């Protein structure tokens, strides 16, 4: 995916930058087939007016329906014409504490690279890191205005897109007044303490993907797939007993470490 050209503005400071999406597609892709012939399923783009004739990609345009069956057409140049420099730039409106942003708002991560103004870029990165602040801004990405934050880590700036509040479903507030004993709370907190540690992303792997790749290899070799034997977890119906046994098990793990 090509880098997006933009600039970061805070106060009267201007820093030309590009930002690149940090996501990559690691999915295992399956094709849809006719089970009788194993022939690939094909999707034809046709119009409501003529379902027999396939429409080529070069003939497809975007249209806004302003009245029934009446459209105005927009192409890529039209979308660019209505963008101002302010729309293309990333103007920081305020700096906030990172922990004040609920993770529910996070969407996509980008890497920011300076394209001139490296001194100002590094200065902003260092100052934000020292103050433990992130910059909040808006910019137009593609054809949508997007809420973003700029954050700093190890003198490198990153951009994260955020959802606007009206893009998230409202959570109905329920009256959760379940009563529990102080002993239950103490034990639950003890269990959390025993299971606490640092978040290390490299410790986590997509194990289902590995099993899927192994299953594909077996299928190619003509082998049958067999359901693995699962170790049944011990189910304890009594909450206090479950907490007690869990604490004992985690205490043993902590001693081994």
Render pLDDT for 141-152 as a digit per residue (tens, 0 to 9): 888 889 999 999
Domain shared by 126 and 185, yes or no:
no
Both 126 and 10 in one domain: the answer is yes
Q: Three-state secondary structure along 62-77?
A: EEEEEECCEEEEECHH
Confidence category of residue 157, pLDDT binned at 50, 70, 90: very high
* Structural tokens at position 150: 């700029």
Domain with 112 in it: what CATH number? Answer: 2.40.290.10
In a domain, 108, yes or no: yes
Q: What's the pLDDT tens digit per position in 29-78?
A: 999 999 999 999 988 899 988 988 999 999 999 999 999 989 999 988 88
State residue 188's pLDDT score. Answer: 93
Question: Is 111 within a domain?
Answer: yes
- Specify if 96 maps to a domain: yes
Sign of CA dihedral 54, 55, 58, 62: negative
CA distance 132 to 152: 9
Range of the domain at 249: 180-192+233-257
- Say yes or no: 155 and 116 in one domain: yes
Considering the domain architecture, whether residues 104 and 186 belong to the same structural domain is answered as: no
SS3 181: coil
Q: Is residue 88 very low, low, confident or very high in pLDDT (cuts 50, 70, 90)?
A: confident
Q: Could you identify the residue written with the tokens 């329920």? A: 174
- The answer to whether position 17 is within a domain reads yes
pTM of the predicted model over 0.85: no
Residue 223 lies inside a defined structural domain of this protein = no
Distance CA 241, CA 237 (A): 8
Are 185 and 151 found together in one domain? no
Q: Do 108 and 150 lie in a common domain?
A: yes
Mean pLDDT for the chain overall: 89
Look up residue 220 and give its two tokens.
Answer: 């190619």
* Domain match, 149 and 184 both: no
Q: Same domain, yes or no, for 133 and 161?
A: yes
Least confident of 20-29, 101-110, 125-134: 20-29
pLDDT digits (tens, 9 = 90+) for 105-124: 999 999 999 998 899 999 99
Residue 132 inside a domain? The answer is: yes
Contact 55, 47 (CB under 8 A): yes
The answer to whether 86 and 92 are in contact (CB under 8 A) is no
Same domain as 110, residue 139: yes
Burial 83-103 (b: 16+ CB within 10 A, else e): eeeeeebbebeebeeeeebee
Number of domains the chain is built from:
2
Question: pLDDT, tens digit, for every residue of 199-228?
Answer: 898 998 888 899 899 999 998 999 998 888
Do 97 and 160 fall into the same domain? yes
109 and 184 in a single domain? The answer is: no
pLDDT value of position 18: 95
In a domain, 226, yes or no: no
Residue 224 located in a structural domain: no
């Amino acid at each position: 995916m090509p880098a997006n050209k933009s600039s970061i503005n805070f106060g009267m400071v201007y820093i030309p930058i590009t930002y690149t999406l940090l996501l990559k597609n690691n999915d295992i892709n399956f094709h849809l087939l006719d089970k009788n012939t194993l022939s690939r399923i094909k999707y034809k783009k046709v119009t409501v007016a003529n379902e027999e004739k396939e429409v080529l990609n070069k003939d497809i345009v975007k249209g806004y329906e302003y009245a029934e069956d009446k459209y105005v057409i927009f192409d890529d140049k039209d979308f660019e014409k209505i963008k101002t420099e302010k729309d293309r730039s990333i103007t920081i409106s305020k700096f906030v504490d990172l922990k004040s942003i609920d993770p529910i708002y996070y969407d996509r991560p980008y890497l920011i690279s300076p394209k001139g103004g490296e001194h100002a870029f590094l200065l902003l990165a260092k100052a934000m890191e020292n103050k433990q602040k992130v910059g909040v801004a808006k910019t137009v990405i593609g054809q949508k205005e997007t809420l973003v934050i700029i954050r700093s880590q190890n003198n490198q700036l990153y951009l994260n897109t955020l959802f606007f509040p009206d893009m998230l479903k409202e959570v109905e507030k329920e009256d959760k007044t379940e009563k529990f004993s102080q002993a239950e709370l103490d034990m639950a907190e003890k269990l959390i303490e025993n299971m606490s540690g640092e978040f290390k992303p490299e410790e986590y792997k997509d194990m289902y993907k590995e099993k899927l790749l192994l299953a594909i290899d077996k299928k190619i070799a003509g082998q049958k797939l067999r359901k693995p034997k699962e170790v049944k977890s011990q189910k304890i119906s009594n909450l206090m007993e479950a907490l007690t046994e869990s604490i004992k098990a985690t205490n043993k793990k902590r001693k081994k470490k």
